[in-house]
Structure 1
Amino acid sequence: MSGARHVDVGGAAPYRIAIGDGLLRDGAALASHVRGRHAFLVSDANVAPLYARDVADAIQAARPDVRCIVSCMPAGESAKTLDRFGELLRELADFGATRDACVFALGGGVVGDIAGFAAACWMRGIDCVQLPTTLLAMVDSSVGGKTAVDLPQGKNLVGAFHPPRAVFADTATLRTLPDRELRAGLAEVVKYGAIRDDAFLDWLDAHAEALLARDAGALAEAIARSCAHKAAIVERDPLEHGERALLNFGHTFAHAIETEQGYGGLNHGEAVAVGMVRAAHLSTQLGLADAADARRLEALLARFGLPVEVPAGLAPDALVSRMRLDKKAAAGRLRFVVWRGAGRAEVLSDVPDDAVLAVL
């Protein structure tokens, strides 16, 4: 569509992120990524009634030779399981999907993760196009090729790196996004300022009201700047052997909270907000950053209506036990992304338990 912004992700498997209003109606652009004649559109019970049929029709109108079917899964993190993943594979088999089939992931991060994982595994890997419909998915999970499902023991423990062929972030879908989900996405937007770009935090503070009011220009700018930051990191470290770990700022705390709550309490963005504040306070506890830095981050997140305290009823010892199974732990030693102030994040290994417990 004209007027769309673009962010290119380089590396061994380059692709383009398109950001703009009305992208889901551009059947020609969507269909251009279907190399064969099978398009498998995965969505969930919240998103499918709003957009799935229109997307499928747009693809087929542009490419009448393509068969496009819709698979609708339950909404929410609790659906991101091995059983649901197996159901998607069986549907691909029943569909007769060939090696040149394309999976379209239409929804938030849950849909993107599980549909992308199915694409990564079907016939050892077929094409996937990410169609994120939440702010959080637009700026985070749809970019970078991480795909996964959860286990009861932890979040995203089973998965694969599988870069998409393309990402279409249609900002029109944000108009139907619940307020809570919009705020959750803003947590991940704030993260980019926290780890890489102090000036971006100032921009977010200055445009907080416009972002919460869903101003189209402000949202597009926030998405583009966030995606550009992530793209730059992913290009240099596609498999998270180094710098990419910085994207996990706050996530070790967040995943422990989500898992301990059985994926039924804070949503991911809310948990990340709490986790980033804990990581900032941990940095202060370890003498790496000034307490004023943590207070500044906490105030910005609170301005966006996000939680900043660990939910009541979660035992610190239980959360630390969850962290030991986190993918970001190394040989059972706690490893965290900390900062030396806004925009200056780093990975720190062998963090003492007592320091973590002190901020929980």
Structure 2
Amino acid sequence: MTSDRLAPQRVPIALGDRSYEILIGSGLLSLDGAWAGLPASADALIVTNTTVAPLYGAALAERLQARHRRVLTVALPDGEVHKDWTTLNRIFDALLEAGCDRKTVLYALGGGVVGDMTGFAAACYMRGVPFVQLPTTLLAQVDSSVGGKTAINHPLGKNMIGAFYQPARVLCDLDLLSTLPRRELSAGLAEIIKYGPIADPAFLDWLEASLDDLLALDVAALSHAVRRSCEIKAWVVGQDEREAGLRAILNFGHTFGHAIEAGLGYGAWLHGEAVGCGMVLAAELSARLGLIDRALVDRLRALIARAGLPVQAPRLGIHRWLELMRVDKKAEGGEIRFVLLDGLGRATMRPAPDALVAEAIEAHTAPS
């Protein structure tokens, strides 16, 4: 990581009595102010995974000793393939075996899988206990840790079983990204890139100019990218917490992306890789519907490729593609509804003819 440490930045999420803030900066794990005002309790449970636990588990446990009488840890197996009922029950097992009460605080130390499962467990355990997000991946810092979506996967669909449940705080410690593998870094960039075409053309310009700095883990660049991404998501979530309308624009590229994940088997592609490719397909479909010009499709494809993400779709077969996308949460009455671009900086959600969807997929599918 390059650059000096920067002062922490705060992004508020305005949701009435469920409001909280996202704190972004370096060294938050050891910064007293980052923890002030969080729920206190006798017991705390750190939920992490077998990859992250050896890196940051002990440091977090030591920090929490000052706030809780007993600090427990459960390390889940790593990977999207384990985002299921069986693994979720390991969190409940740890809580029940230790006799944890309804004031117990859960701490999610990991990427999107850990954050989603910890939040879902917190929503369910004794009908709701507090939890704190400590995302350790770029993708989780800019997307999955923010906004209260929690879920597990089902073999027939991604994130189909879950709840809206807000954390007490999100602590985005940029220092935790220093151990992130390059592939995971690229996956996180996909969720950052999406904010430009759907909401902020100037941010898209900045990303094109600053991509090399982000790939080099420059702290100033990362801080700006995480903050701006969180600001956009906070604005959207503040208006539509439960995805009744506007919040769906945050799923740009996700209908195609979720189909890739489910069609190939969870874990074959990282979530961000599938979303990156999905954004190319969604842009292509937008162009074929006459909503954007070809230049924007090419521009997005070039940026996504520069970020180290796949831009060619796997061969699933059009019938399989459509079958998987009809299970998407945005589908209504079996009709697939896509988040598409209606010009640069504007997103819309609408259906599209199967024939055009097939053409968009085929236009960016690797030769057999």
Deviation at 1:208, TM superposition (A): 1.0
Query: Aligned letter for 1:44?
Result: N
Provide the rounded CA distance (Å) in 2 between the counterparts of 1:92 and 1:217.
Answer: 39
Quick one: distance in 2 between partners of 1:316 and 1:169? 39
- Asked whether 1:250 is paired with 2:253, we answer yes
Whether the aligned pair in 1 keeps the contact of 2:79 and 2:267 (CA below 8 Å) is: no
- Alignment counterpart, residue 241 of structure 1, candidates 238, 241, 244: 244
1:344 aligned partner: 346
> Counterparts of 2:151 and 2:35 in 1: how far apart (Å)?
24
* C-alpha contact 2:6 2:26 (8 A) present in aligned 1: no
2:155 corresponds in structure 1 to: 152
Counterparts of 1:68 and 1:43, CA distance in 2: 13
* Alignment partner of 1:327 is 2:329: yes
Shift in CA distance, 31/44, structure 1 to aligned 2, threshold 3 Å = farther
Are the counterparts in 1 of residues 23 and 34 from structure 2 also a CA contact under 8 Å?
A: no
User: Where do 1:94-243 residues align within 5 Å?
Assistant: 94-243=97-246
* Alpha-carbon distance in 2 for matches of 1:207, 1:29: 28
1:31 Cα deviation from its structure 2 partner: 7.0
Aligned letter for 1:327? K
CA contact (8 A) 1:252 1:336 kept: yes
* CA distance in structure 2 between the partners assigned to 1:123 and 1:52 by the alignment: 25
Q: Do residues 89 (structure 1) and 88 (structure 2) align? A: no
**Match for 2:38: what amino acid?**
H
**Of 43, 46, 53, which aligns to 1:41?**
46
Task: Return the alpha-carbon distance in structure 2 between the equivalents of residues 28 and 189 of structure 1.
Answer: 27
Aligned partner of 1:58 among 59, 63, 85? 63
Amino acid at match of 1:120: A
Q: Tell me the amino acid that sits aligned with residue 296 of structure 2.
A: D
Give the whole-Å Cα distance in 2 for the aligned partners of 1:41 and 1:29.
17
- The Cα of 1:341 is off from its aligned counterpart by 2.5
Uncovered stretches (5+) of structure 2, i.e. residues with no partner: 362-368
Aligned pair 1:8/2:12, yes or no?
yes
What secondary structure, in the 3-state scheme, does the structure 2 residue paired with 1:18 have?
Answer: strand
Secondary structure of the structure 1 residue equivalent to 2:94: helix
- Number of equivalent positions: 356
Paired with 2:85 and 2:311, the residues of 1 have a C-alpha distance of 31
CA distance in 2, matches of 1:205, 1:251: 22
* CA distance, structure 1, for counterparts of residue 246 and residue 51 of structure 2: 35
Aligned to 2:365: none
How far 1:66 moved relative to its partner? Answer: 2.4
State the shift of 1:32 in Å: 4.2
SS of the aligned residue for 1:164 comes to coil
- Contact 1:27–1:58 (Cα < 8 Å) also in 2: no
Q: Hey, what does 2:366 align to over in structure 1?
A: none
Describe the SS at the equivalent of 1:100.
Answer: coil
Alpha-carbon distance in structure 2 between the residues aligned to 1:31 and 1:75: 30
Secondary structure at the counterpart of residue 54 of structure 1: helix
Which position in structure 2 is the counterpart of 1:303? 306
The amino acid that maps onto 2:26 is D
Q: CA deviation at 1:173?
A: 0.8
Q: Which runs of 4+ in 1 moved over 2 A?
A: 25-32
Mapped partners of 1:37, 1:29: distance in 2: 20
For the Cα contact (< 8 Å) 1:28–1:59, is it kept in 2? Answer: no
TM-superposed deviation, 1:355? 1.2
- Cα distance, 1:28 vs structure 2: 6.5
Q: TM-score, normalised by structure 2?
A: 0.94
The 8 Å contact of residues 30 and 59 in structure 1, kept in 2 or not, is answered as no
**In the alignment, is the contact (CA less than 8 A) between 1:27 and 1:59 conserved in 2?**
no
Asked if 2 retains the 8 angstrom alpha-carbon contact of 1:33 and 1:102, the reply is no
The whole-number CA distance in structure 2 between the counterparts of 1:91 and 1:214 is 36
Verify the 8 A CA contact 1:120 1:162 in the aligned structure 2.
Answer: yes
Amino acid at match of 1:50: L
Shift of 1:248: 0.4
2-structure distance, mates of 1:93, 1:101: 11
Cα distance in 1 between the residues matched to 2:6 and 2:69: 25
Amino acid at match of 2:19: P
Cα deviations by residue, 1:92-135 (Å, 9 ceiling, x for unpaired): 11121211111100000000000110000001111010000000
Q: Name 1:76's counterpart in structure 2.
A: 79
- Rounded Cα–Cα distance in structure 1 between residues aligned with 2:287 and 2:105: 47
- Residue 113 of structure 1 aligns to a residue in which SS? helix
Aligned AA (1:46): T
Question: Structure 2 CA distance, aligned partners of 1:207 and 1:150?
Answer: 34
Deviations 1:321-360 (A, max 9, x none): 0000111111110100001222111111x32111111111
CA distance in 1, matches of 2:100, 2:215: 41
